[in-house]
Structures are given as C-alpha cells and as structure tokens.
Chains A and B, each alone.
Chain A
C-alpha cells in the first residue's frame, strides 16, 4: 500500500479535507444500474455511514472503494489519489467483511499479522504492532487461539484488528454488526465509535440498520435504488428528511396531506386538515411539485395531554389501538379530518399503557417538529 500514513494517535482530525471523492459513479449490470450517478465526498477522520435497504447499492459502492468492483463510469479517489486501475491489494483501504473472513488455518496472531508479513517489518516490530492492534480491540492474550475457537464477537474484533494493524487511510466496514445478537451489537456500536475516535481513521460503514447508523456516524448517506437520496448528519437526516422514503426508512413518521398557501425562500405556509395552517422551515432540498406537499411528524414528537394540561398547539382525537412495548406504548389515534390515524409513542412513566382504547385524548406538539416534504 503506498503512503500508509503513520498518524500519531493523539491527533483527532475531523477536518474538512476530503478523504474519499466519488464523482458521478455508475455501476451497471446490463440494463440494471446497481449504482446510478452517485456523487459523494467523505471527509478525513469522519465516521461515515451508507444506509439503505438491501439492493440499494451501498455494498456495491463500498466494494468499488475497496477495489473489488470497478465503476462502469465515473471516478473514485482516496486521499487525493485516483483509484482508477489500482487493484484492491494496492489501495490504502482495508475492509472488515460481513462474514469477518477470518483465515481458518491461522490463529488470531497470524490472522492479524497477515498483511504485515509482506511489509517485512522484522519480527520485533511486527509483534509490537500485532499486540497493539489486539489491545485496541481488547483481545490481549487471545493471540494463540484458533479462529474456530472464537465467539462471534471475538471474530469481529479479530477482523477489526487485522484491518487496523495495516493503518489504512480508510477502514471499510460491510455490515459488521449484523451477525451479532442485539446486546452485543449495541455494545459494539459504542466500542466501534470509541475506537474510531481513538485511531482517527476515516471509517465508512455500510448498514441497513438505521439505529446503528444514527448511533455511530458523523454523517450518513441514505440510498434507495442505486441513488443517494440524502447526505447529512444523523440528527438532520432524522429530523429533516428530504422525502417520504427517507423519513419512512429512518423510523416511524406520520404523514399528513398539506396544501401550499405561501412559499418563500426560508419558509412554507401550508394548510392541513388535522393541524390547521402551519408555518414551517423550508428544507434545503425542497422542490415544489404542484400545489400540494406532505407534512410529517415523528410519533415521539406528539405527546398525550393529561387532564387539564394544555399546549399551545394541540389536536384532539380518539385512541383506536394500543400496543405495549415495555418502556414505551404505541398509540394509534384517529383525528377527525385526517385520512390516516396518527401514531404516537409515549413513555410509560405517566400511565400511557393504561389508556383504554376508545378514550378521547388531546395531543400536544411543537410546530418545529413538523417537517415539510415535497410530494
């Protein structure tokens, strides 16, 4: 690998410098476009996620960055260097595979040292780097174990150590947590994030799990059908999705039909049946499509108003369904005038789990929580 940077660990560069530049990349298989004209910049030191349902092109894109696949058209550069014609084994990237791809005929140490062997560092330096990498993933002392003697979580750590020990410019992670059980997965999310902060390497994660992407990333690209729908911070993606598809993929969202009354550069005024006339911020990517739009509100941004409590903005309706989920209760509330009932999630500390079906209730909301999307 040319120019493997020896970056001191104390430095924490989350700069604005581009690490990966993907320009107008298309990958077609016959008439089918796995990736369609994707343009994207991933910054140095960033934890970046490619999020989308299966078949959206996220893995194709990752494999093209790694060099296992080549764009039909367009260009990819890593660290300012064009990757065209550079085979996977000479790219400054390393990958953590979905299946971990631990070499079964080698033990943990030999697996981690696999890529170092070719660099001819000498036995002492090689051992030091292997130990260091094993320590980074909390596997110290397991070096002599065979790959077959490891648990799923340990195998994943070996795969991580094996890639990190190469000190790549970019670490690519292909759904690394999907094979782990829920508890371990949540623990590894925190650890991966911590590890990325510590080593300061650019991480590119492919996942179909929106919570995983939200929890770990600095920025997320949401992809559908080979196209990049939105690139933004987790908060922005969650709170200000550019369209219904993105909103829907990132968790529950209530959609309300709206008529545009007034549009100017920064805001929109719309008329809705349930929520009345609403003024909202106009999203950056909003392009008007006729006279109507869609207004969205997340279920947790609606709150039940108990007894005589009031809110500045409220809607009234009737509970038609109630679903209990332990720490939260999911209420389906019919609002007169709305074609679809609203989903409301309420924490169970005030007794939302005891509201009988059929009760008339009032829901309070913050107009900030209403987001306008083009139809």
Chain B
C-alpha cells in the first residue's frame, strides 16, 4: 500500500514518492471519506466512548465517582425490571422486523415483477407517509386504536363487539402494530432493489427445467433476493430495539421498552452510570442478535439449494 504502511518514516520520502503517495487510490479514498469520517468520529464514536466510560463509574447525586466498578452491569443484568424490559424490547423488535419483512416482500415483489412502466410511481407512493412527521404518524395510530378510535367504532358498528375494547391501545401489540407500519418503507426498498437485480431469464430457466411458479420462486427468486431480506430485517430490527417514542405514545404501562428506562436514568433518576451500563448492554445484545440474523438467513439460503 503506502510507504507509511511499510513502516518507513514519512519525512524520509523523496518528492517522487510523496507525489506517488498523494496519487495513490487509498489516500484519495481516505481524503474523500474524511469529512464524514471526522463527523462520525466526533459525534458518534466519542459519545459512545463517554457512555462506555460512564458505565464503569458511579454517581452520587451530582458528583461522579471515577473509580472502576462493575456494579452498574450487575444491576443492569440481574435486576428483574431491566431484564424484563430488555427481553421485551428484543421480542418487540424481532416481531416487528419479522412482520415488516413478511408484509414488505409481496409489495416489493409486486412492484419489481409487475410494476411495469409504473415502478417509480409505486415507489413514490410508498414514500408519501414520510411527508408527515413520525410523531403525527404515531398519533394517528392512537386515533385508530384508541378507546373511541376508528377500529373500535368500526367493530362496534359491525356488531362484532358490544363495547370498545381496551386491548388495542397501550400495550406491546400497539407498539408492534405502529412500528411495523412505520418501518414498512425501509423494508420494501432494500427488498425491491435485490429483486430488481434478479435476472428474469433465471426464472425462465427454472421454469424451462420444470419448476412451476411457486417452486421457481422458492428455488431461484427467494434465495437471490435474500441479501435484500437480510438488510431489510437488520434495518428494521436494530433501530426498533432502541425506540422510545413509540412505546411512550402508544405503549402504555405494558409497552415500556429498554430505551424508556435508559432515558429515565439519564433524566429523572439522574443515574448516568446505570443508564450507560444499560445502553452498552443493549448495544451488545443488539449486535449479537444482528449477527445471529445474518447467520440464520445465510443458513436458510444454503438450505434452499
């Protein structure tokens, strides 16, 4: 690669070597990404390090004790409340990503395979919900799922239920429904892109070799679009674990997630070290879960052969 990488002192370089270094692809590449890289370093990596450091400290009212301790992690991992919240967050995010991908796939498939000349129109229509703020979209679910909401009135009007159901809003199902809707577009797009890349003659070849529509889908289209399914699942799963607006608005008491607890520690409870330990734990668990998802989908892809 570069002279510096070979362990030679930069000062000892001749002019020609310096020019060669400046023109090398890797240096130019680093130069191109450096603004974003610095931005990410200052606003993402440093705060994470601060959080990481805090998680090993303790706080007494307003003073921070900088002695190293694992006490926060002990609390984060053993206190039943935090364990339950973490489990619930994982359960919600997994359920949401599962349903989002399941619902997004047919839409992406339809646009890609049957969208014809109107593909871009369809994609445009999918972005329409994003013209309003996320809060408004969550609030509108409150209107739909609420005690006097659209769904309850509709069901009562049809005579299916006698009095408004309270089971619709302020629980984890409400969070799952709202998040599934909110993240649909983020799942549709990567799946659509991967379906677009599937060579249509491959489907014809599968048909020619005797496969009906379902078999050729399962043996060719689905495995080849697996990368899109994988990224859709990850795109939905990772941020939803840490979502705290949605549970706050539609989750009620039973829909509280780990992010709400973290927020409480950094806010009202003003116990930054515990909040930090909870954050780090969540980050690790999410990373493990994302890794597991990658492995599972890869294994399924291999199975399809």
* Residues of chain A at the chain B interface (Cβ within 8 Å): 1, 66, 68, 87-90, 93-95, 97, 99, 101, 103-106, 110, 114-115, 118-119, 162-163, 166
Contact = CB atoms under 8 A, between A and B. Distances in A.
Given A105-B224, A105-B301, A89 B204 contact: no
Given A105-B223, A105-B224, A106-B305, A97 B209 contact: no
Given A66-B208, A99-B199, A118-B211, 11 more contacts: A88-B208, A89-B208, A95-B205, A97-B205, A103-B202, A103-B206, A110-B305, A114-B209, A119-B210, A163-B208, A166-B209
Contacts, number: 62
Give the top 7 A-B pairs by smallest Cβ distance, nearest first: A115-B209, A101-B205, A101-B201, A95-B208, A88-B207, A89-B207, A89-B210
B212 A101 contact: no
14 contacts: A68-B204, A68-B207, A68-B208, A95-B208, A97-B201, A103-B206, A104-B202, A105-B223, A114-B219, A118-B210, A118-B211, A162-B205, A163-B208, A166-B209
Contacts of B219: 114
B223 A101 contact: no
A89 B220 contact: no
Contacts of A163: 208-209
A363 B216 CA distance: 62
Contacts of A87: 207, 212
A68 B204 CA distance: 8
Contacts of A1: 210
Interface of B: 199, 201-202, 204-212, 215-216, 219-220, 223-224, 301, 304-305
B202 A101 contact: yes
Contacts of B208: 66, 68, 88-89, 93-95, 163
Nearest to A63: B204
Nearest to B209: A115
A105 B305 contact: yes
A112 to B, nearest CB: 10
Given A89-B212, A118-B215, A103 B207 contact: no
B291 to A, nearest CB: 22
B35 to A, nearest CB: 35
A106 B207 CA distance: 16
A103 B301 CA distance: 13
Nearest to B219: A114
Given A97-B205, A110-B305, A104 B224 contact: yes
Nearest to A165: B209
A103 B220 CA distance: 8
B102 to A, nearest CB: 22
B210 A115 contact: yes
B205 to A, nearest CB: 4
Nearest to B203: A101
Contacts of A66: 208
